[in-house]
Amino acid sequence: MEQMTHSARVGYAIAFVVGLIVLTIALLLWQHFGMDTVLELSVANGRQLGVTALDDRPQQGESVAKLTRSADALVLDCDLRPTFRLPYCGYQFSLSRDDKGIDLSKFDAISFDLDYQGPGKHLLRFFLHDFEPGRSTLQDFMSQKISEVHIFDFPRQGTVKIPVTLLRTAPWWIDIRNTPLLNNEMRIDNVTAVDLLIGAPETIGQHHVTLRSIKFHGKLIRQNNLLLILVAIWIVCALAWLANAVMRYRAQLRSTSSRLALLSQVNSALELETRELAGQVYFDSLTGALNREGLRDGLINKWQYKGSHSEPMAVLFIDLDHFKRVNDTHGHATGDEVLRTFAVSVQRDIRTTDKLVRWGGEEFLIICLGTDGVAAQGLAEKLRVAMQGQVWPGGLQMTASFGVTTLQAGEDIGEAIKRADGALYRAKASGRNCVQSA
């Protein structure tokens, strides 16, 4: 038995590790090829965010920007004039009206989908305004850290996608704010506004930009975070397996006595009372099934049960679903009839070598000699389905839950019954009227 148990544990360990490897590979592939998240700035949410047109007039320039909305785009018409040293027009998306912006640091790339018509090179300048608590104020918009990237020669039509790593803290902002060197790192974890500007001294004239969207692309879980999660899962599983192994080893050390005599084994496994009543019969008087004493006698004498048997043996643990309602609603007499009907039905559908035992109340055991796990589960399913066609007292509709296990070579029958009881508990927890195997 110990050898079989060790082999089974090794098999379970290998299956578990293989499953964990498959899960790890699946999550890594999903993170690489899927798990995408997108934040979109477009006409669809422009009104909600508050998109406005920008031009250089606040800096004493004379460029004029006009923003209109079509069904699917934000259209910017710009009369770019040379009065300001760096004339510009553009869009500004307001992401917040206070100091609580949007964390864009989880995104890896930015895409621009637009059409651009105008003289000269199509120069785009992109800015993110980040509110830094303790450094930025709501009263001074320029106190927010500005990160920028310049995109030259944008195509007349199409989409351009750039990595977020191209963003840098704007040098002119550093000069204006005179910030210390250690405070010049690029930050986009609390962005309150997004600007997209066009214009340069050599591009004076009329410009027409149709902006369909600005999208920020990222992953639901970044690769580094996913790797940390997977490492944590592996560590937790390894520690749990080690703890389980230590507990098994300590349990083996505590077991210093040899196996009990056969009669003591069976009595202990079946949790028989130590005081035997004189004249106790082997059959349940209500159902005609064996009782616990009959099971004990059969294991010891009639079925020639041996602690080192090699023939397979299956144990089916059965519980009639909601039997208490039958007694409470229809009375105990009807409940007794239900139990008798159930016992007769089962005895009809099992082999003569299979033994039906009333374990107590509405609980029954079936001991199947020479039966492996597959056959035992098939028998349980057959009995479960047969109950649906059975005629029950009072026109009742009865179902049952089944827990199934098989006795390992040399194993104590009591351990098998406990496993079957555990499987029965799972069957009832799963909604009843089903079969669970241990």
Do 298 and 430 belong to one domain? Answer: yes
Which are the catalytic amino acids?
A: 362
Q: What's this model's pTM, rounded to 2 decimal places?
A: 0.50
The mean pLDDT value for 263-278 works out to: 54
Question: Are 128 and 154 within one domain?
Answer: yes
Residue 258: the pLDDT is 55
- Long-range contacts of range 372-378, CB-CB < 8 Å, 24 or more positions apart? 372/312, 372/314, 372/406, 373/314, 373/404, 373/405, 373/406, 373/437, 375/314, 376/314, 376/315, 376/316, 376/404, 376/405, 376/406, 376/437, 377/404, 377/435, 377/437
Q: What is the CATH number of the domain that holds 340?
A: 3.30.70.270
For residue range 318-371, what is the model confidence (pLDDT) as tens digits? 999 999 999 999 999 999 999 999 999 999 999 999 999 999 999 999 999 889
Span 211-222, mean pLDDT?
A: 90
Q: Say if residue 180 is in the same domain as residue 235.
A: no
Contact 314, 372 (CB under 8 A): yes
Return the minimum-mean-pLDDT range out of 5-14, 61-70, 98-107, 251-260.
Answer: 251-260
* Co-location of 241 and 95 in the same domain: no
Query: Which of these three, 219, 240, 274, is where a domain ends?
Result: 219
In this structure, which amino acid lies at residue 195? D
Confidence (pLDDT) at 413: 86
Domain holding 14, by residue range, is 2-35+224-254
- Residue 185 carries which DSSP code? S
pLDDT at 123: 86
Together in a domain, 92 and 22: no
Same domain? For 28 and 43 the reply is no
Beta bridge partners of 219: 36
Supply the pLDDT for residue 138: 85
Q: Amino acid letter at 72? A: D
| Range from 22-31, 41-50, 283-292, 425-434 carrying the lowest mean pLDDT | 41-50
Cα distance between residue 117 and residue 155, in whole Å? 9
What count of other Cβ atoms lies within 10 Å of the Cβ of residue 326?
23
More confident of the two residues 22 and 32: 22
Q: Is 134 left (phi over 0), alpha (psi -120 to 50) or beta?
A: left
pLDDT at position 83 over 90? no
Domain count of the fold of the chain: 3
pLDDT reported for residue 180:
80
CA dihedral 64, 69, 70, 71 (to 10 degrees): 160
Q: What percent of the chain has pLDDT over 90?
A: 52
Residue 165 has pLDDT above 60, yes or no: yes
Give me the chain's average pLDDT, please. Answer: 86
Q: Are residues 366 and 407 located together in one domain of the fold? A: yes
Burial profile 75-95: b = 16 or more Cβ within 10 angstroms, e = fewer? bbebbbbeebeebbbbbbbeb
pLDDT of res. 27: 83
Are 9 and 29 within one domain?
Answer: yes
244 shares its domain with 153:
no
pLDDT recorded at residue 310: 60
Position with higher pLDDT, 409 vs 342: 342
Residue 75: pLDDT band by 50, 70, 90 thresholds? Answer: very high
| ∠ CA 159-165-171, rounded to 5° | 105
Tell whether 184 and 297 lie within a shared domain: no
Q: How far apart are CA 367 and CA 351, in angstroms?
A: 11
Q: Using CA atoms, how far apart are residues 42 and 52, in angstroms rounded to an integer? A: 12
Bridging pattern class, strands 400-407 and 313-320: antiparallel
**Do residue 330 and residue 208 come from a single domain?**
no
- Sequence letter at residue 355: K
Q: What is the mean pLDDT of residues 193-209?
A: 92
371 touches 404 (CB < 8 A):
no
Q: Which of 156 and 286 is assigned the larger pLDDT? A: 286
Examine the domain organization and report whether 247 and 200 are in the same domain.
Answer: no
Query: Which CA distances in Å does 7 have to 1, 136, 216?
Result: 10, 65, 53
Each residue of 292-323: pLDDT tens digit? 988 888 887 756 555 445 678 899 999 999 99
Residue 61 maps to which CATH number?
A: 2.60.120.430
Edge-first strand listing for the sheet containing 89-94:
51-55, 89-94, 191-198, 124-130, 145-151, 168-169
pLDDT of residue 267: 61
